[in-house]
Amino acid sequence: MKRLVVVIVILSILSLSCKTLNNLRTPTVEPTSLSNTDVTSAPATQPSGNLTDITKKLDELGGKPCLDKPEFTCVTITVPLDHFDASNTETIEVVFAVSPARGERKGMYVQAFPGGPGGEGISYASTFYHSSRILEHYDIVFFDQRGIGLSNPLECKTAYAEYFLEFLNLNDSIGEEGFDTPDEQQAAIQNAKSFVDECIAEMNIDPSKLQFFRTDQVAEDIESFRQAIGDDKFMLYGVSYGTSVAQAYARAHPGHLSGLILDGTQDTTQSGDEVAFSQWEGFNTVLLKVFEACDADSECSAGMRGGSQAAYDELAQKLANAPIPYEYPLSNGKKVQRLFTFNMFDYTVSYQLYGLNSRMELMRAIAATKAGDLIPLADLYYDNANIDPETGQYLGDPNFSDTMYYIVWCSDDAYYSGTSEERSAKLMEAGQKLNGLDPRLDLDVLQLGLTCAFWPSAPTGPANLPPLKAEGVPTIVLNATLDPATPFHEGRTVFENLENGYHIYVEGGVHSIYGWGQACPDQYVEDFLVDGRLPAQREIVCDWGDAVIRP
């Protein structure tokens, strides 16, 4: 399951209550309006040794206005293909986009923004969700990491589309739902291996070079940009997969960070299989909470006599028995006969669990299906899977690289240890708990894991990264108890190992909590950046009211 970043929109600020506790390690529930007594001074958070104006430096580096992003200047820098081997003289170009500070400059605020991995940074570049005070004092910096977007993209679109559509259209008519027979398991392994071969051939790249697109290389590209600008320190924000990039930089170059903010945080000490199964459990936990919230909401539960969970299970059982036929209305007024499969349902449900509104949409679509109308659910599927509803063909997301999703995920860490065959066998054995209808969501644990077993740049064993300490770097970890993509326990684990960490989280909530117009956490981030002030409590709970489903 891709750890996608949600599109950040500014919502109206809710009126929230507060309760202040004195115990340093006891979470404090905070309001939307924060007073000066809610924060404390942070040591050395203001960048030192920085330029007073970045615009001249951008000109010197050949900066040009970014296409379709007039407030950003795009700068292309040449970096080593392999930052860790000086004897390798091959290079690659990486593009950064900068919106200069509008007043007295404190330094750069770099956004490790892309989700996935595979999401572009520059196509999402915006100043919209930052306060005027942050924009006054900080250059907002986005980038397309190597292999994505403007930075020498790698693609195997044809191979991926075939692999993805085959998965979505699969009709599992043997045994339980999932790979529960030897024939199914061998077919899945062979399909993954064939996809890898076809993808590598389509990219037309030397397979030995795929290792140079790992996250640690991306972190070094950020360091190269810092050196090119000439600032001594800067602020770094990572969200979703971007938290892995941010943590990689903080491990390697803590002395060049004035502060670190992690939002929707991945625990990078986990191996590939631990991350996958952690996420799988997270999605199923969120789904159960959505059932509870839906049943307590008259609008959500309308049309689902017996409860939302029963309606969901009834639909899942029908799909497990056989795909459901339906007629889809085309724009020309005609209707086309199609089939809706169990995997289409699993995929759609997973992505609808990212947000409060999308969870409600999902429940209403299930209610419509119970009443005999599959179209609302089909529309959600087409939207989430980037399928053209007119043709049924895979379009892909123009701002997301499915290819780099596999390259980075499979190159960073391993699912188990051993040869390709040994790793795929271990994964298939562990994946037997995914078979059947309980748990309700399978995600792409096996689909991705089997691919990684045969990926040329995949390590033969887990990376075993140490916990991030971030010595000398004040760090805020933003979190939500109902974040399905980066489960709550991962962010808490990262926080507990930090030398100077602060944990701000929402009971319920979504994947990433900054920039939604809620003063908690937004005001804490602003105070940290602009005034060098950190929360007075090590843990703070943001009260977002009903933060499970919302129309």
Convert the pLDDT of each residue in 408-432 to its tens digit: 999 999 999 999 999 999 999 999 9
Residues belonging to the chain: 551
Is a pLDDT exceeding 70 seen at residue 25?
no
Domain map of the chain by residue range?
A: 28-152+214-269+467-542, 157-211+397-454, 272-385
Question: What pLDDT is stored for residue 49 in this prediction?
Answer: 82
H or E element, residue 174: none
Is a pLDDT exceeding 90 seen at residue 313?
yes
Is a pLDDT exceeding 90 seen at residue 28?
no
Per-residue confidence band for 51, with pLDDT thresholds at 50, 70 and 90: confident
The mean pLDDT value for 524-551 works out to 96
Is a pLDDT exceeding 60 seen at residue 41?
no
The mean pLDDT value for 169-198 works out to 95
The mean pLDDT value for 475-491 works out to 98
What distance in Å separates the CA atoms of residue 467 and residue 251, rounded to the nearest whole number? 9
Cis peptide before 439 (omega within 30 of 0): yes
Give the percent of the chain with pLDDT over 90: 88
CA-CA-CA-CA dihedral for 423, 425, 427, 430, to nearest 10? -140
Burial of 46 (0-12, 13-18, 19+ CB in 10 A): middle
Q: Which of 29-43, 338-352, 356-370 is predicted with the least confidence, judged by mean pLDDT?
A: 29-43
Question: What pLDDT is stored for residue 213 in this prediction?
Answer: 98
Question: What pLDDT is stored for residue 444 in this prediction?
Answer: 85
Per-residue model confidence as pLDDT tens digits over 384-407: 999 999 999 999 999 999 999 999
Residue with the larger pLDDT of the pair 439 and 36: 439
CA atoms within 13 A on the CB side of 334: 6
Q: Which of 29-33, 42-46, 147-151, 388-392 is predicted with the least confidence, judged by mean pLDDT?
A: 42-46
Is a pLDDT exceeding 80 seen at residue 59?
yes
Per-residue confidence band for 48, with pLDDT thresholds at 50, 70 and 90: low
Residue with the larger pLDDT of the pair 3 and 520: 520
Question: What pLDDT is stored for residue 284 in this prediction?
Answer: 97
Question: What pLDDT is stored for residue 443 in this prediction?
Answer: 87
Is a pLDDT exceeding 70 seen at residue 487?
yes
Buried b / exposed e over 167-177, threshold 16 CB at 10 Å, is bbebebeeeeb
Question: What pLDDT is stored for residue 387 in this prediction?
Answer: 98
Q: Which architecture, in CATH terms, is 28-152+214-269+467-542?
A: 3-Layer(aba) Sandwich (3.40)
Question: What pLDDT is stored for residue 10 in this prediction?
Answer: 31
Q: Which of 2-16, 94-108, 407-421, 460-474 is predicted with the least confidence, judged by mean pLDDT?
A: 2-16
DSSP annotation of 432: G
Give the percent of the chain with pLDDT over 70: 91
Burial of 76 (0-12, 13-18, 19+ CB in 10 A): middle
| DSSP codes joined into one string, 80-145 | ES-TT-TT---EEEEEEEEE--SSS--EEEEEE---BTTB-SGGG--STTS-HHHHHHEEEEEEE-
Is a pLDDT exceeding 80 seen at residue 280?
yes
* Spatial CA neighbour of 109 closest among 278, 233, 242: 233
**What are the residues whose beta carbons fall under 8 Å from the beta carbon of 194, sequence distance 6 or more?**
none
Is a pLDDT exceeding 70 seen at residue 42?
no
Cβ 501 vs Cβ 528: under 8 Å: no
Q: Which two tokens stand for residue 436?
A: 């059947």
The mean pLDDT value for 214-236 works out to 98
Helix (H/G/I), strand (E/B), else coil: 302: coil
Question: What pLDDT is stored for residue 283 in this prediction?
Answer: 97
The mean pLDDT value for 499-515 works out to 97
Is a pLDDT exceeding 50 seen at residue 57?
yes
Question: What pLDDT is stored for residue 551 in this prediction?
Answer: 87
Cβ 381 vs Cβ 348: under 8 Å: yes
Is a pLDDT exceeding 50 seen at residue 70?
yes
Cβ 140 vs Cβ 111: under 8 Å: yes
